[in-house]
Structure 1
């Protein structure tokens, strides 16, 4: 990997753009392909959701026609396509994650890169490189934010525009000055407040869609010489000053020679908030348990996991995915939590409700100190005979320390497409094309056609 020639006199965004010029090798492209496939499974599932129906209703009235693809909507303009694709990638809460920045790059960067790759007729390699670069920009800025930011702001939303802008700027071949303007203007319009967590709303999906759109638009405008403030990050009225006085600005460009940040991202095997995954893994690691013999369950984990996921009585699927109690209950009852366990009758089944009532959650100070570098959990199950089993899990399955295999990721994507009730032949076509994107001679157009077939349905 070539070492970037960064000058300390440059602003942080200028230094970041130089850093993004590092060589991208085949290993990074292969990793980007896995994140692309992971997103495809997530958005296929999301395309059959209630929020997808709402967005399609909106587009039927207010949308415009064009050539860019979207899942099941092949004749939409790029703005319409991006709205759908970026909004739907996190519906199942199975989108990828970077821990120390506490954000999800995939549902913002990938749809932005795919949309622009079609607009400019990019090669598969250029698409994969754009994903790597978009992840890098989004994560590096996100990891510089302090915990004060995450307390109020949805990091995926506030940092997503940077990632979408970087991916688009790469595909457009912008020079350094225009690249900086793309990032700066995307960041100057950032936002995304966590108040959405307190009501049953669809705002989180709009956060992702808005971040992707602002990033793509900022880069397209930068190509037309619409300039932005290079000091946007560290300026006295800039991003860090406004949204995170506890930020560590130099984290944006620290360790410039490290491998690409995409390798530090986690994949999510379970259809739940990532803050609940370690608890799921801990319960499952206790081994075979007779649910009828369970007297009580103690879950201890880090503070943010309780802040986001202490919901003993979830009222709907979205709340169930953010409920430590529900996640632990279905893991105890059914072993491997599946999407169906977070929907419909499972929310109100007598056995599930009873098991949730036996689960007690608390903060573990040791795990709280290790967070966000490690998303850990402790689980202890006491049976009615007075015997107790306990286990401590430092990292969740899918983290770099406990990685999902390529086979696991492929199986997850296929399973999500199957749950969405898609034709097996269409799923096979998408899987085959996606697998071959890193091979010599691969073409993007057939792959995009296969995506249209995937979205077209049942």
Structure 2
């Protein structure tokens, strides 16, 4: 493809995305929802500080001054450590760990007020999720969507804060997309790479927008071009999804909040298994069958996890923990819990079924069927619980109070006192009333 073959700048998908964002109205309710998602992301970042990768990141951050993009990198990486950050199902993107850090880093530099900050977050979620809706299912088998689609979101958020013109935002999208990367190979060894994915996505889009504000050009057809993102990494891309339903609700309001610290693909099965825990009444379990969809098997078919991180990506382990204990928390993945749940975990069998495969990715569902030893059941040979959606999905949302409680738990896990965590929560939620951005740099080693 030659330069003359490139479509006109105003006739590309990124130009359409820039126009869609500019035309989309923002209500007070949208900002209130965005404030809760910002709270969740910041709490995740603070909660991640005391983990092994968190200590490395904060130590690296404190070693020398970091520019705006470097600050976004640190906060983004920290936000994606504990596996309890948000997820948009249709795009399979964790937008908060990319968009919120980029908006925080740049918003602090520009001294933006709460409304401007939340509007940028809404733009960022929208862009990342819309690109994610366009990549198609084949992309996710090799590429980590948060890493590859996230830079478009951080570019949109930064572009909104910088007041970029539509042509400049197209430049920012072009250079953000040219930095898209992030492979699933780290899963084979349990490396810390997934956290780097979120950090890089946050910093890459911010850098692209910052440069665009100075006239640095980018490829306008980065998505659909002959040598663009879809052609390179998306064998079954659906480009029309990027601009579909422009008058629909903001993607942020369609994003799920995670109540349990494990891969989101495990959550509908956890939800179902927790129901069964209360119905089993201490009886011995002979076998467990989990129905799900293929993407969940691609990522979470791990019958014998050997580390906490592997256990968070094991449907076998998550279901066994929920059935045995009636709750799933950070301790559920440590060595003691892995050893204790191993006998039941060995009895868990997974299968992708037509019901849940057909519904994915619009709905992430699961069913768990338990057979009790000797066939003794409460009214039958087996007990089954089904979930079309998991707790925390827009169809089964966490309450405002539950989200605040989760944030307080994460912040205290990260070392904050309860009083300080409460004040920080209140300050973040005040963004919806146009309150000022607090200085969060000291929490992340960013002096």
Whole-angstrom distance in 1 between the partners of 2:283 and 2:120 = 51
Correspondences of 1:4-23 after superposition (within 5 Å): 10-21=11-22, 22-23=24-25
Whole-angstrom distance in 1 between the partners of 2:401 and 2:61 = 37
Structure 1 residues 260-284: Cα deviation after superposition (integer angstroms, max 9, x where no partner) = 1111101110111000001101111
Whole-angstrom distance in 1 between the partners of 2:370 and 2:170 = 53
SS of equivalent residue, structure 1 residue 381: strand
1:68 is matched with which residue?
none
Structure 1 residues 119-175: Cα deviation after superposition (integer angstroms, max 9, x where no partner) = 111111111000000001111111011111111110000011000000001000111
1:376 equivalent to 2:370? Answer no
Which of 352, 360, 367 aligns to 2:356? It is 367
Whole-angstrom distance in 1 between the partners of 2:193 and 2:200 = 10
Correspondences of 1:159-238 after superposition (within 5 Å): 159-238=149-228
Contact 2:93/2:129 (8 A) holds in 1: yes
Contact 1:426/1:453 (8 A) holds in 2: no
2:32 is matched with which residue?
30
Question: In structure 2, do the counterparts of structure 1 residues 426 and 9 end up closer, same or farther at CA, with 3 Å as the change threshold?
Answer: closer
Contact 1:165/1:216 (8 A) holds in 2: yes
Contact 1:422/1:454 (8 A) holds in 2: no
Whole-angstrom distance in 2 between the partners of 1:189 and 1:205 = 16
Whole-angstrom distance in 2 between the partners of 1:413 and 1:56 = 20
1:296 equivalent to 2:287? Answer yes
SS of equivalent residue, structure 2 residue 226: coil
Whole-angstrom distance in 1 between the partners of 2:33 and 2:136 = 28
Number of equivalent positions = 431
Structure 2 unmatched runs, 5+: 1-7
- What is the CA-CA distance between 1:365 and the residue it aligns to? 2.0
2:235 is matched with which residue?
245
Question: In structure 2, do the counterparts of structure 1 residues 308 and 12 end up closer, same or farther at CA, with 3 Å as the change threshold?
Answer: same
Structure 1 unmatched runs, 5+: 1-6, 66-75
SS of equivalent residue, structure 2 residue 374: coil
Which structure carries more relative contact order (alpha carbon 8 Å, separation 6+)? 2
- What is the CA-CA distance between 1:59 and the residue it aligns to? 4.1
Structure 1 residues 375-410: Cα deviation after superposition (integer angstroms, max 9, x where no partner) = 111111111230321122111111111111111111
Contact 2:288/2:347 (8 A) holds in 1: yes
- After the TM superposition, which of the residue ranges 142-151 and 49-58 deviates more from structure 2? 49-58
1:318 equivalent to 2:294? Answer no
Question: In structure 2, do the counterparts of structure 1 residues 427 and 344 end up closer, same or farther at CA, with 3 Å as the change threshold?
Answer: farther
Whole-angstrom distance in 2 between the partners of 1:120 and 1:147 = 38
1:355 equivalent to 2:356? Answer no
1:55 is matched with which residue?
57
1:410 equivalent to 2:375? Answer no
- What is the CA-CA distance between 1:204 and the residue it aligns to? 0.6
- What is the CA-CA distance between 1:57 and the residue it aligns to? 4.0
1:334 is matched with which residue?
325
Question: In structure 2, do the counterparts of structure 1 residues 12 and 453 end up closer, same or farther at CA, with 3 Å as the change threshold?
Answer: closer
Which of 115, 120, 129 aligns to 2:119? It is 129
1:443 equivalent to 2:439? Answer no
2:4 is matched with which residue?
none
Contact 1:64/1:77 (8 A) holds in 2: no
2:47 is matched with which residue?
45
Structure 1 residues 306-352: Cα deviation after superposition (integer angstroms, max 9, x where no partner) = 11111111111100100111101111121111111112422223xx1
SS of equivalent residue, structure 2 residue 349: strand
Structure 1 residues 382-441: Cα deviation after superposition (integer angstroms, max 9, x where no partner) = 11230321122111111111111111111111111122232112101101111222125x
Whole-angstrom distance in 1 between the partners of 2:442 and 2:97 = 21
1:70 is matched with which residue?
none
Whole-angstrom distance in 2 between the partners of 1:32 and 1:361 = 36
Structure 1 residues 30-87: Cα deviation after superposition (integer angstroms, max 9, x where no partner) = 1110110111221111111100222234445xx532xxxxxxxxxx543442222110
1:255 is matched with which residue?
245
Contact 1:297/1:358 (8 A) holds in 2: yes
Whole-angstrom distance in 2 between the partners of 1:399 and 1:146 = 21
SS of equivalent residue, structure 1 residue 361: strand
Contact 1:164/1:216 (8 A) holds in 2: yes
Whole-angstrom distance in 1 between the partners of 2:283 and 2:302 = 23
SS of equivalent residue, structure 2 residue 11: coil
SS of equivalent residue, structure 1 residue 312: coil
Question: In structure 2, do the counterparts of structure 1 residues 308 and 245 end up closer, same or farther at CA, with 3 Å as the change threshold?
Answer: closer
Whole-angstrom distance in 2 between the partners of 1:161 and 1:77 = 17
